[in-house]
Structure 1
Amino acid sequence: MRHAWGGVAAFGFLLGGCMVGPDYVTPAVPVTPKFKEATRPVDPKTDGTWVRAIPSDAFERGKWWEAFGDPELDRLEDQLGDANQNLREAEARFAQSRALIRLARASEFPSVSAGASAASIKESAHQPYVLQTNPQPLGDFEMPVDLNYEIDFWGRIRRGVEAAREESQATAADLSTASLSLHAELALDYIDLRAQDAQQRLLDQTVKAYAHALDLTLKRQSGGLAPESDVEQARAQLDTIKVQDTDVGVTRAQFEHAIAVLIGEPPAALNIPPAPLGQLKPRAVPGMLPSELLQRRPDIAAAERRVAEANQQIGIADAAFYPNVNLAALAGFQGTTPANWFVWPSLLWSVGTTLSQPIFDGGAIRAQSDAVRAAYTENVASYRQTTLSAFQDVEDNLSTLRILGREAKQQRDAVIAANQALKTFTTLYIGGEVAYLQVITAQTTALSNEVNEVDIQRRRMEANVRLIKALGGGWDVGQLPVLASSGLPRGAFVPVGQQ
């Protein structure tokens, strides 16, 4: 028995290192030397959101939202990490992927099972062609131990373990992507809520100004200096702005409810006091090269890990073309009575190997091989498309920040001019030199410009958040979980360690 075991083990050792299927190489992706928007001249008075990185200028890691300097936003973001149910769901998927690694690794080891049985057997006395010499009941007492082991000659099991590891890393990157997206969504909702606060304050002030204008027309009408139509126009203008002022509360409430759900609370349990939009002060983002983005985006890392997983599936499919070798062994005791169950003559054992080779399967193995190769090509295309989309995200938000920076300065000038025009027309109206319609026109223009200024400020803040998200939010590929490796050739994203 020892010689049989030794021979099989030596044969398995000699061939166990054989691996069929292609080695993995990270697919090439189209990368430009620098971002297009990074080559444009930056006006520090209007832009200032993309600066040259220097060694001491480390990008915000982890809690990137703290760069905005808003304690209320920090509190909400921290609560999201503890209570958001979508994040809990992604964490559960990652835990499941880790368990599947252990399941795949179980196939690397022999399976051993043990059992015991006891039975009393009474054969029929009327069996044909059988001489019944002992019509008494017989005993059957067994206690076998079975061992089964698939010798991984062609690397099918090892590649399965590697595929499970790569899927686990991809799931970990998915978790990081979900976390980044949820934190960015919360920041965007918070900015929108603060923009509604700014609109509310602006409209509250406008209501007071229009009420003062109505009082002015009433006094002029009572003094015979203005017609009744001026009063009616002023009252209509005031009533209209009151409706707009009230309507802001609808949108603000919706943003507050959305934030409550993100942090895992019922909407009725959250109350965010009003605060100025201007208290959010984002920091300039250090510039980087497009190639760095491949290491900083968790969605890119997830797509690359799934390419590696698909590559392992090719090796698994190719192994099906080769013979499958299994080692089986059995040892135990068998007796006819409890008294002779565990004596030496009752010992039984067997050991052997089985080899199976597909001969004809109607093309099933070839079809499976073609399918996994097509899946690999699909994953490569998805990886490259994810990378291109990431470059687009960065360019979009860089250009948005650059253009809105210039637009904000232009809008500030427009607000100053509109307010000055309103002041001028009001003075002329008091002097009886212009009709009240011109005052109303100036009021509408001034309000429209002030509303637009708040909206540009909101869009700049949101673009800043989206730029940080597009850059990975401070994440890098080194945050992928450290998983054990069997020493197979791997891509640039694979950490080395022990699970």
Structure 2
Amino acid sequence: MTLPLGGCLLSGDKPEPGLYIPQAYSAGPKNPKAAEAALPSLDWWRSFRSRELTEIIEETLKVNLDIAAAVARIVQADANARIGGAALLPTANLNASASHSRSSQSCAGCGGGASEQNNFSVFLTATYEIDFWGKNRAALLALEETAVASRFDREVVALSTVVATANFYFQVLAAQDRLRVAHNNYESAQRVLNVIQQRAEAGTASPLEIAQQKSLVATQRATIPPLERTLAQFRNGLAILMARTPEQVRIRGGALNSIAVPRVTPGLPSELLTQRPDIREAEAQLAAANANVANARAQLLPSIALAGAGGYQSALLTTLLRPESAFYTLAAGLVQPIFEGGRLLGNVDLQRGKQDELLQTYRKAVISAFSDVDTALTGIRKAAELEQLQRDVVTESRRAFDISETRLREGTIDLLSVLQTQQTLYTAEDQLVQARLTRFQAVVSLYQALGGGWSPKPAEAMNAR
């Protein structure tokens, strides 16, 4: 299916993107019903079933500085649209003046003595340019579409902020999990060291074996400070998103295992075009570029302007508003550009170049969106497989370590085997935490690829009532 531009881009001499929309995602379900079984809700972050995460995200949406800056850009864009719309309306000015003059008494040949006179006037002037070729209307449309694009830009910023907040929070949980694993591993290594030292006192262990285990204990202890630093960095990152200093933010955290992994389906590819705010923003920017091209072409044509003035003028203030003091003037003018040194034609080419640039940007946004969803779907599936495989590794590594520790106490195993099982278990447990973090990040990436939350379809909204 070839992709047409939606809404405001359908009429007139507009470029067509000529893109192909797939019927289904290559990494997603092929059945349309299955693809729409679990579409992302508007408050999709609640699907992780974490009260703290929900509180943090909803607070961030209220106070984040990037979102506030995006809202300020909307205000500016709306103001520019109002300014641009003024060209479609007449301008009127009320003027009032009073003057007193006296001629020179020593003027030779003035034909008399000094004279004094007053002049009072009040009048209204008005001008209006007839937008015969749609030049001003096209300029207004460009500004209005820019204002629309600023609203989608705000949604892009808000979505990126929520995604960053969720990822930071999950990284905080992962850092806490890894710290717990590191402390547990340090304690287990210290426990094994105590057993070896007891064996050394009994004469069944050598100083070399004690030194080897002490090295492992020190290695495990050395993994803790970097993890503590990482935890602080992620907490501080959350503080920035919440527009606070680190001292003002308290993150309880917890464990990744306490977070639910939500089920989400991608819907149909054709629906993505209306859900991704970056696509809608690119579409609005392209519509603005189309209007700018129309405006540049209209500047090559004649402009017709009307002007008028009317009011009262008198030498005496008492007679200023009498009928005989009234006056008016009316005028019409036509201006046809003849020679502008190539400025107007250059402007047409400039706007066409911008139009083509934004067309390619729009095409890239659509193609990238489909690719993002496929990548996220694949990432979720592979991350789930990796997590399960890593759990199996941890289970077997834990069993091997427990057996080796028991045999060490019994004196029926060499220390090298114990060291190997310890290191294997420690690495496996740390990698399991990272695998689960990767799974959550993949789910968040899918929500972002889908454009965040989707509004319920009409049928679903009626059923919800």
Q: TM-score, normalised by structure 2?
A: 0.91
1:166-205 equivalences under 5 Å are 166-205=145-184
Residue 97 of structure 1 corresponds to 77
Contact 2:24 2:30 in 1 (8 A): no
CA distance, structure 2, for counterparts of residue 336 and residue 295 of structure 1: 68
Query: What is the CA distance between 1:122 and its match in structure 2?
Result: 2.6
Asked whether 1:77 is paired with 2:57, we answer yes
> Residue 186 of structure 1 contacts residue 262 of structure 1 at CA under 8 Å; is this kept in 2?
yes
Q: Report how far residue 127 of structure 1 moved.
A: 7.1
1:311-460 alignment runs, 5 A limit: 311-460=290-439
Distance 1:161 1:207, change over 3 A: same
**Aligned partner of 1:32 among 16, 22, 40:** 22
Could you say which residue in structure 1 is the equivalent of 2:86? 106
Q: Which range is displaced more, 277-286 or 452-461? A: 277-286
| Alignment match, 1:52 | 34
Conserved? CA contact 1:199–1:454, under 8 Å: yes
Tell me the distance in 2 between the aligned counterparts of 1:338 and 1:58. Answer: 80
Distance in 2, Cα, partners of 1:266 & 1:132: 85
Going from structure 1 to structure 2, the CA distance change for 1:383 and 1:110 (only over 3 Å counts) comes to same
d(CA) in 1 for partners of 2:261 and 2:405? Answer: 39
User: In the superposition, relative to structure 1, how do residues 59 and 366 fare at CA in structure 2: closer, same or farther (>3 Å)?
Assistant: same
**Alpha-carbon offset, residue 430 of structure 1:** 3.5
How many Å apart are 1:242 and its aligned residue? 1.6
Contact 1:411–1:453 at 8 Å: present in 2 too?
A: yes
Match of residue 251, structure 2, among 230, 255, 272: 272
For 2:126 and 2:413, the matched residues in 1 are separated by 103
**Structure 2: how far apart are the matches of 1:314 and 1:33?**
34
**Residues of 2 paired with 1:357 and 1:477: CA distance?**
54
Number of the residue aligned with 2:8: none
- Are residues 373 and 140 of structure 1, via their aligned partners in 2, closer, same or farther at CA, if it must alter by over 3 Å? same
How far the C-alpha of 1:343 sits from its partner, in A, is 1.9
The CA distance in 1 between the partners of 2:456 and 2:290, in whole Å, is 20
Structure 1 residue aligned with 2:4: none
Matched, 1:216 2:195: yes
> How many residues in Structure 1 have an aligned counterpart in Structure 2?
447
Distance 1:170 1:322, change over 3 A: same
**What is the Cα deviation at residue 391 of structure 1?**
1.7
Distance in 2, matches of 1:133 and 1:350, equals 34
1:411–1:449 CA contact under 8 A, matched in 2: yes
Determine the C-alpha separation between the residues in 1 that align with 2:41 and 2:16. Answer: 26
Q: CA deviation at 1:131?
A: 5.0
Q: CA deviation at 1:271?
A: 1.6
* Separation in 1, partners of 2:111, 2:275: 82
Instruction: Report the secondary structure of 1:224's partner residue.
Output: coil
Deviates more, 1:380-389 or 1:269-278: 269-278
Tell me if structure 1 keeps the 8 A contact 2:103–2:114.
yes
On the 8 A contact 1:22/1:315 being kept in 2, the answer is no
Partner of 1:88: 68
Q: Which residue of 2 aligns with 1:135?
A: 114
| Residues 28 and 35, structure 2, Cα contact 8 Å, conserved in 1 | no
Contact kept in structure 2, 1:397 and 1:466, CA below 8 Å? yes
Tell whether 2:280 aligns with 1:298. Answer: no
Change (3 A) 1:317 1:22: farther
Q: Secondary structure at the match of 1:61?
A: coil
Show the counterpart of 1:229.
208
What amino acid sits opposite 1:451 in the alignment? D
Q: Is the aligned partner of 1:285 residue 2:264?
A: yes
Q: Which amino acid aligns with 1:429?
A: L
Aligned residue identity for 1:461: F
Please state whether the residue corresponding to 2:39 is helix, strand or coil.
coil
How many angstroms does 1:428 deviate by? Answer: 3.8
Which residue identity lines up with residue 63 of structure 1 in the other structure? D
Bigger Cα displacement from structure 2, 226-235 vs 373-382: 226-235
Q: Which moved more, 1:419-428 or 1:136-145?
A: 419-428
Whether the 8 Å CA contact 1:26–1:304 is kept in 2: the answer is no
Bigger mean CA offset, 466-475 vs 177-186: 466-475
For 1:25 and 1:64, how far apart are their aligned partners in 2?
36
- Gaps spanning 5+ residues in structure 1: where? 1-20, 42-49, 479-499
The CA deviation at 1:157 is: 1.4
Question: Which of 137, 140, 149 is the equivalent residue of 1:158?
Answer: 137
Distance of 1:53 and 1:459 partners within structure 2: 23
Q: CA deviation at 1:33?
A: 2.1
Q: What CA distance in whole angstroms lies between the structure 1 residues aligned with 2:118 and 2:442? A: 82
- 8 Å contact from structure 1 (residues 191, 277) kept in 2: yes
CA distance in 1, matches of 2:52, 2:80: 40
Pick from 94, 119, 124 the counterpart of residue 145 of structure 1.
124
Unaligned runs of 5+ in 2: 1-10, 458-465
Displacement of 1:456: 0.5
AA aligned opposite 1:445: T
Q: 1:476 to 1:380 in 2, by over 3 A?
A: farther
The 1-side partners of 2:311 and 2:417 are apart by 106
Conserved? CA contact 2:182–2:223, under 8 Å: yes
